[in-house]
Structures are given as structure tokens and as C-alpha cells.
Chain A
Amino acid sequence: MSHSTIQKIALVGTPNAGKTALFNLLTNSRQRVANYAGVTVESVEADLLHSKAAATLVDLPGAYSLHPFTEEEKVLRDAVKSGSFSKMILVVDATQPERAIRFLVEVLNATTVPAVVAFNMMDIAESRGYRYDLGVLSSLLGVPVVATSAVKKKGASDLIHQLDHLDASVSRESNAFFPAQEAASDGRMSPILEFYKKSDVILKQVLLKKGGVDRRSEWIDRYVLHPIWGILILVAVLGICFQLMFNFAQVPMDWIDAGMGALSALISSIPMPDLVKSFFVDGVLAGVGGTIVFLPQILILFALILFLEDFGFMARAVFLLDHWMGKVGLHGRAFLPILSSYACAVPGIMATKSIESRRDRIVTIMMIPVTTCSARVPVYTLLIGAFIPNTAVFAGLKMQGLVMLGLYLAGTLFALLSGAVLKRFFFKGPRMPLFIELPSYKWPSMRSIAKGLLYRAKLFLVRVGTIILALSVIIWVMVTFPNKEKSIAYNLGHAIEPIMKPIGFDWKISMAMIPTFAAREVMVSALSTVYAVEESVGSTVESVSGEGSGGADPDAENADKLSEIIKKEWPLATGLSLLVWFIFAPQCISTLSAIRRELQSTKWMLFLTLYLFLLAYFAAWITHTIALKI
């Protein structure tokens, strides 16, 4: 059991106390998904820096108390009480004295695990005039207390020093000062009030001077929450997000494309059998390269989300949108999961944990798969490039951009519509109360954002290196064997063709559609592989008659070339039908398994798959039929 020698340390704290920034300050950048007994929520863990003993820090979800109100808070309570951790770091917000002390008292009372307190955001608290006697706090609570400022990188070494000196084998004595607080859940409030009074006794001894209110945040809110300015700012922020995602990402995406092209040229120049060359160029590179291109886009969107959340804007967006989301029957909190799902449905689905009611969670999760995730973008880009003329429509707006915008709107509108329908007919019931803190605005720690991004990038690349690589190879095998003219794919594609014919898909499209259940963006690489192999069949035939052992030409501009091919091969109706098909379906396996995991229900997952498939088929059929008539 080599694992048991590495200590597991829990990072526990209140929301908006800068917990994640502290986590990123204390740990190295090798973040990974944390797995421990009895906990189903995805938490991040990483190794502690500068610690004498090897230790792993687990970033648990934030909560105001151990009384579970949301799924995330339940996770925290279970984790604290599970005994999975040998030590804890408790993070509280120094600008919120009452809340901080209550939280500390409650958690220290609930468990005997040795703990260190990080009194975080101390710099902000002090600049607002708060003065504390942390020595007294430490002796009253019986645990070390360290003043920290995660964003300014202060207090980390002191905190680690204190942590190292805790003896994990000796469990802390539960604080006898406070009675157990379990009775609170039955509706009788008096035990909690007693408990709060006792916390306030501590507070009086510890808080030497009370600070002033945060005038700056109040001032910013006058604009951000203003009827006119507020809406304009919100629209501008969302507009900038999408603008950056599509325009800014283009440059690095071109680099990646060029890099992949150079790599395939290099491989082709190495003398080796054609089959091996084809494996690397048409199988591995076409598939992996076609997907890795989206990394910049995903990172830009996540960077913006992380920034806006840390800055304090996301909570304001919930405030502004709550009423309007209510019109669709949704909770304001559904905003963030839905926004994340424009990058990828999986983190969006996971983010629904903050929604208290299961009913609202189901409705939100059902909406997420039709919002336009970035994996659809390559497919859209390919099809738009091939079939939509880029004529100027008006004032510099081009047709292609408008169609892209239209596809986003179609997905969004449909998501809202389906949410409204589900809520009205299947999930009737009162709205869950809204309760959200509007935290002080603060400049986010760029280091923290960078580490968060690194983690996302790693998750994505692992996905590319495993699932997508494997699928690309499988597709390559299917289109290459037993021989290129009558391959497995050819037969399979022909088998599905009768079903797909009414919506305009031939056997090649049908064939390329199969792997999209693993990842939508594979559509492009699958088509590339299908056509690349076909091309190379042609070129081998030519080379036999002509130049000799030239072999398949490396396709440096994969996508451009593919665009040319499908433009030639497919009727317009097929292209449009395929675009519409991708608004609704197919759902990728990662999305479906995330849904199953989050809702603990196979029934819902199957329902969603079937209903979106039928819907996609129907919508594509209408599009195809109409397009043929024009």
C-alpha cells in the first residue's frame, strides 16, 4: 500500500473565500481528478509544494456550513466526516468575520481531524480596516491560525509550516466549548441560535476592530446591476466572449493546422511501406490533428469563465438573469452550467450540481446537449465553408458568419424551448428559492486561472490521446481493410444507408457518423480519413501507371481539401441537412455518460438519446425535403 504513505489533506472552506486561489498557490501544477471513498463529485487534487512530507491536497466544494443545501455541500459534509483525510486546511474569508468564525466552529466541532486555519483575504480585510487577534482565535479554537492572502501569495509558507507540524496520528480533541449541532435539521432553530451566540462570544474576543463596507463593489454594482447599463454590460461581455473564442482562437488554430501538415509531410518523406504511412497520416494525424485544433477555443472560453467567476461577475449575471430564466421555468443558477456547455457539455452537466432541486437539475441537464458545444464547430465550419457562399450581406457582415450565428441561435432557442416544455408539462412545481452571494469584486489571481486552464488542457489532451486516437485508428482500419475498395466501412455504411437516404446522407456520411457517438468533432477526421484513403486509392492507381513509388501525397491542408471534395460530391440539400442534424444529434458518449452519472439514471439518458435522435432525423428530413424543392 504505497498510497497510504502519502497524506491526503482536505481543503475546506466557505464560498468566495479564495479557496481555489489558495489551492493553486499551495500545490504544483499537476492537477488531477480526485477519487476517494464515498464521494461522487469531481474534485481536483494536486501535490503540496514545499511540504516536508509528500502530501496531496484535495480541493473540496465550498459551503457556508455543513448543513447540506445543495449536492456540493452534501459532498463536503460527507467528506469531512468520512475520515478519508489525515489533516484539513480550513479557509475562511477575513472580510466576513461572523461567517468565518461560525464556519470554523462548526467544522472543528464536527470532526476530530487535525486542522490549520487559513484566515484568507487578510490584505483586503486590513485595507478595509478590520483588525484581528489571531493568537486569541488560535487558542480559543485549539488549532493554528495563519493569516493568508492567496491572490497576493502571502502566508503560504507559514501555512505549510504549521501543517507539517500537525501530528496526524493524534486526533484533535473535539471542542468541548460547543454542544453538538445536529438537532438543527428538524426545524427547531433554538440549538443553532445557542450555537451562534457562542460563536459570537469568540468573535468579540478576536475581532479588535470592525472594517468598513466595500464601497468599491457597491459602486461597480450601481452600473453592473443597472437596468440599462447592466443589460448592456452583460450583452457586451457575452459578445466579447464569443468574439474572442472565434477570432482570437483562429491564429493558434492555424499554427496547429500548419504543424500537423508539416508533421504529415515529414512522415510521408520517411521511406516505409505505404500501409504504415497511411496509418500515420490518414489514421493517426488526420484524427488527432482534426481534434487538437479546438484546444485554443476551449481554453479561451474557459479562461473567460474562470476570470469572470473569480472577478465576481458570474453571480451578478445570475442576479440579472434570474427573472428571465424563471420565464423558462429555470433557476438563475442554471446560467453558468449552460454557458460552460458552449465549450463542452460535460463540464456544463457537472456544474449543475449547484442547483438545489433535482427537478430543476434534470430540466437544465436536458437543455445542455442542444446548446452548441465547441465540438460542433469543426463540423459547422467545414459544412459552411463548403456550401454557404461568403457573400457580403450588409455592413461588413458575411453570409458564412451569419449562418454560424444562426446555428448558435437555433441551438440556444431550442434549448430554451425544450426547457420550457419540460418544465411546463413534466416537471411542474414551485421554483426553488434563489440564494446567492454577490461577492466583493476582486482582481483574480492570474496564476490560479493559468493553473485551472492547464488542468483543462490536460483533460482535453488526454481525451484526444486516448478516445479520439483509438477511434481514429478504428476508423482507419474500417476504411482500409480488408481492401480499400470493399472495406468494412463501405459495407457498414451501405447497411445504414437506407435509413439515412431520406435525409440525404449517403454511405460515406453514414459511415463517418458512426464514430461521432464518441466525439462529434471526429466527423471531420472521419470524413478526412474516408476521403483520404479513397484519394490515396486513386493516387496509387495513378502512381502505378505514372511516376512509380510516389505514394499518397500528404495532405497539408486537410480541411480545405476536404471542403473542396464535399463541395464537389454532395448536393446542397445534403450539406444543409447535415448542418441541421448536428444541431440536435448525435450526442457523444462522454455527454451521455455524464448525464447518467449526474442523474444516477439510465432511463433519462436513454430518453434524451432517443428524443434527440428522432428530433434530429425529423428536422434534417424537413430541411432536406425543402432544400430539394428549391
Chain B
Amino acid sequence: MNIRSIVDNLKKPFEKGQKLEKFYPAFDAFETFLFVPNHTSRKGAHIRDAIDLKRVMITVIIALLPALFYGIYNTGYQYLIQTTQSFTAVDAILHGSYKIVPMIAVSYIVGLSIEFLFAILRGHQVNEGYLVTGLLIPMIMPVDIPLWMVGVSVAFAVVIGKEAFGGTGMNILNPALTARAFAFFAYPTYMSGNQVWVSEASNVDGVSGETILGMLAAGNSPEQFGVLEMFVGSIPGSIAETSTLMVLIGAFILIYTGIGSWRIMLGCVIGAAITGLLFNLWGANALMSFDWHHHLIVGGFAFGVVFMATDPVSAAQTVKGKWIYGILVGVLCILIRVFNPAYPEGVMLAILLMNVFAPTIDHYVIEANVKRRENRLKTQLRTA
């Protein structure tokens, strides 16, 4: 209980009527990080499940870790393989960490500062949602994006994407994708093209930084990458989205624990597979004839589907709605890939677009429920 008594002592100046009362939400965030508080149920059910938002969020972070670790390794690997020097896995990890750890730090420092500020201003607890968002943002950025751009994107996502709508639980768009979309449209030269997807590609001659989807959009064939490489993820791309294998491990964690919606994930895969198959039959350009099952393992599709589309706040919330939402994300993703060469990767825009439509989908699902009830009343009145 020693830590507890230290915390109790530290807590005193933050309590009601004390000097630092205003900063209580900030202190509370640290305290509840250490301890599940001693709060007991006051009204309603007397017993409560062990789950809380902290546990939900940390489970998502655990699910993200395999992809993150692989992403760190792959960042180094993609760079070093194109330089002529010989290297080991440790070199790759060191190079990757050198690039990525600062990005994660910037994301958390900027994002959490804003979250704490809003919590103090509004006098509510710090919500845990940013723990996930803050890790997701660097994971979906190109590796060479300057740190200040990460910071600005984070600030935009948290302030405009989330807090402006009322904070956690109220946002329309997935905050991490909002950050990416902001960077994408504000700094396009750092977010697209064939120079940004491999570390140092724009600085070192001979290092090419093009993704598979980028090559296809340009009309080239990505011959040097086999299916296994696409699946394992030793291909260029945003930091942690390349490895379908690692994403699947994360998906397994999310589905097994029950935290992530398997309906949305499966819906996305069904939607994308069917759309990809139809385009294969059509086959008018390189992206159309790109094998439908390859569509599922390249680019950010798997990562977006597992970690972004399933965000409980911005996704559809009814069970039927989740199916419709998921399938449409899949369909749209392939549509954007195939029809718009300016955006070779469609998953970000597909999810953002469906985030906007999710409330509408839910509305119609609920409307059907309301109709059922009204019809029941009508038949009751007729028979009475």
C-alpha cells in the first residue's frame, strides 16, 4: 500500500477547496492510471463488470503492437535493402526506431496536452480514447513526414475532429483518419507520390519509395513483390499498415476478447472481395485486373478495416447497420482504388466517407424498428 499512501498525499492539494482543485482532472488521470479507483456503485446495478474504457483502449493498443513492431522493423528493412550495404535485423530495428519513436512521442505529447487542457477547462475526466488515436496516427503516416506536420495533424484531429463535436463519443469521423486526411490534403507532397514510402527515399539517390498500389496506378506492374511479401508486409507503405499478417494477429486479439466488431471486419472483407472480383472480370486497367485477393493484402486495407473502421464511435452502432457499413467500406475502398489514380489507396477515404454515412445507416435501421412497432399498434387497433 506504499504507492497508495504516496498517491493519497499527492492528491491533497487537488481536492475540493484546495489550491490546485482546477487541475483535478489531470491528477485524476494519473491516479486512475495507477489504480482502479475505490468507487462503488451508488445507484443502479450493485455489481459491475471489470471492463471500463481504459481496459477497452489498452486492449486495442495491445492488438496494435504486433503491427507497430513489424512496422518499425520494416521501415529499416525497406531503406537498408535498397542501399547496397549489408545489414542485420537489429540495424533495421534501430533505423526504424530512430524514425518512428519520435513520431509517437510527438503524437502523444501534442494530443494528450490538448486532451488534458479540454478536460481541465470542461471539468470532466480525461477520456482514454486518445491513447489509441495517439498511437494510430504515427502508424498510418509515411515515415519521412516531418515531426511538426505530425504535431499539426494531431492538433487538427483532436481539436476540430473531436473536441469541437463535444469530445470522446461524440465525434463523427475517426480522429486518427482525420489527422491523416488533414496531412494528406494539407501537405500532399509528403503524403503521396513515389518518394515518401521508404525512409530517406527523397534524400538518397537510388532509393525508390513507391507502393504497390502506386505502381499499379502509374500503369507499372509490381513484379518484384510476391504474394508472401504482400502478406507478411515487407513492402513499402505507411509505417505499420504493410503487414497483413500482423494486422490479422491484432484482429484476432480484438475479436477474441470481444472488443472489436467482427461484423464490421467481415463486412469490409466481403464488400472488397466481391467488388474486386467484379473488377477482375471487367479488367479494363492494371488496378482492375489486380487480383481481388491481392487487393485485400496490399495497402492499408487490412489495417484500416481492423483498426479504423471498427472504431465504435464513428462506425455504425446497430448490428444490422454494422453489416451495411462494413460492406460499403469494402466496396468503396476498391472503387476508389480502381477509379481514381490520384488516390491509389482508397481505404482512408472509404472509411471517412462511411463515417459520415454511419448515422444515416443507423437511422434507417432504427426507423425499421419504429415501423414494426407502429404496425403492431395498427393491427392491434384493427382487431380490437
* Pairing of A with B: no
Chain B residues proximal to chain A, CB less than 8 Å = none
**Residues of A in contact with B (beta carbons under 8 Å apart):** none
